[in-house]
Amino acid sequence: MRSLDDLLQQGVSGRRVLLRADLNVPLDKTTGKITDDGRIRASLPTLQALRDAGARVIVAAHLGRPKGAPDPQFSLAPVAARLGELLGTTVPLASDVAGDDAQAKAAALGDGDVLLLENVRFEAAETSKDDAARGELADRLAALAEVYVDDAFGAVHRKHASVFDVAQRLPHAVGRLVQREVEVLTRLTSDPERPYVVVLGGSKVSDKLAVIEALLPKVDKLLVGGGMCFTFLAAQGHGVGSSLLEADQVDTCRRLLDEAGDRIVLPVDVVCAPEFSADAPTTTVAVAEIPDDQMGLDVGPRTVEAFAAELAGARTVFWNGPMGVFELAPFQEGTRGVAQAVAAIDGLSVVGGGDSAAAVRQLGLDEDAYGHISTGGGASLEYLEGRELPGIAVLADGTGH
């Protein structure tokens, strides 16, 4: 892959550069305000380097999952405003993706200027399975610029027009964020320093099954928390009350436990409540004693101690998925405790994007305490599964043609 530094050495002053960034930030449903600007901040190093080199930067990004048509609630307007604040400049927003307004605004850019295109998913062709439909949109996007840079790691596992097809039409390079992600994840998959401990949480076993299968032969310990732990606990014969349970995955979890022996470590206690609510009364019980009318919503303090003990000597840690419903105050201590234990290791600690990265920020933990915080949950999991990521594969032709 041609790096951003390679591109800058060749010179980009006065040239229009199409930068695919991952600006898919969470918005408050009531106010429409950005609740976590982490992904916008993560895009700044590449964006600023291009500006400093005199490039005319046209940023393409998506937000949420609009149905392939303009939808005001998914407009990138708040992102353009925040990006402008962080860069200390005005960032105009085109009213379309690659139409008349985008063309006019792109043509008017001066050296070091930045333009944000409207949500690429406002065009149905962006996510189409039809190569020709995606190609037509990619042609229009490519016509806006002379060079393409992909810095949207959170989207590289998607075969989308702005991720895959545009790179086939323009000289291309990989942005600093994507380059760093690939370097770190390669360390996890090729030759991790041991002991290598993986912490997995989140709600569903089915979402993580492929990554569990891929990682089990490589890890020294796999610590399982979050909603997905209850399917494993059921596989051990425990009653799990009204906790989240994927009954169709119990046999699979039983097989994984048999194959892994003591390498899979499960919670020993959980925080329960009769309902999913911040006001519900909570009780902490051993996993063998979950009441029939209660649901487990976090791992308990003894589990945090046990997980921290497993993490203490680790040299490499990958953590993906919260230990409980950290968005609600009574159920965030499990995630907080495990997050602190991950941060404390003497070695490479990688937070695998998505809810885990959001938890680090929401709980007020020091982001700098981690070796790397990924911006792409799904993409990082697919990379660890060993799957080819279309947005990476298309950049890896080595030429940047």
DSSP per-residue string spanning 352-401: -SHHHHHHHHHTT--GGGSSEE-S-HHHHHHHHHTPPPHHHHTTTTSS--
208 is in an annotated binding site: yes
The pLDDT value recorded for residue 375 is 85
22 is in an annotated binding site: yes
- Find the catalytic residue in 2, 20, 39, 56: 39
Sign, CA dihedral 325-331-335-338, equals negative
Strand order across the 283-286 sheet: 283-286, 269-273, 295-299
Structure confidence by residue, pLDDT tens digits, 49-91: 999 999 999 999 999 999 999 999 999 999 999 999 999 999 9
Does residue 354 carry a catalytic annotation? yes
- Find the catalytic residue in 169, 180, 187, 204: 204
391 is in an annotated binding site: no
Task: Calculate mean pLDDT across residues 25-31.
Answer: 92
Q: What pairs with residue 283 in β-bridges? A: 272
Rounded to the nearest 5°, which phi and psi values hold at 163? Answer: -105, -45
Task: Calculate mean pLDDT across residues 354-365.
Answer: 88
Does residue 204 carry a catalytic annotation? yes
Q: What percent of the chain has pLDDT over 70?
A: 99
Structure confidence by residue, pLDDT tens digits, 229-239: 999 999 999 99
The pLDDT value recorded for residue 362 is 87
- Find the catalytic residue in 175, 225, 241, 354: 354
356 is in an annotated binding site: yes
Q: Structure pTM?
A: 0.89
Does residue 39 carry a catalytic annotation? yes
The pLDDT value recorded for residue 146 is 98
For residue 208, the Cα-to-chain-centroid distance in whole angstroms is: 14
The pLDDT value recorded for residue 4 is 97
Degrees to nearest 5, angle at CA 94 with 91 and 95: 135
158 is in an annotated binding site: yes
300 is in an annotated binding site: no
- Find the catalytic residue in 84, 361, 378, 387: 378
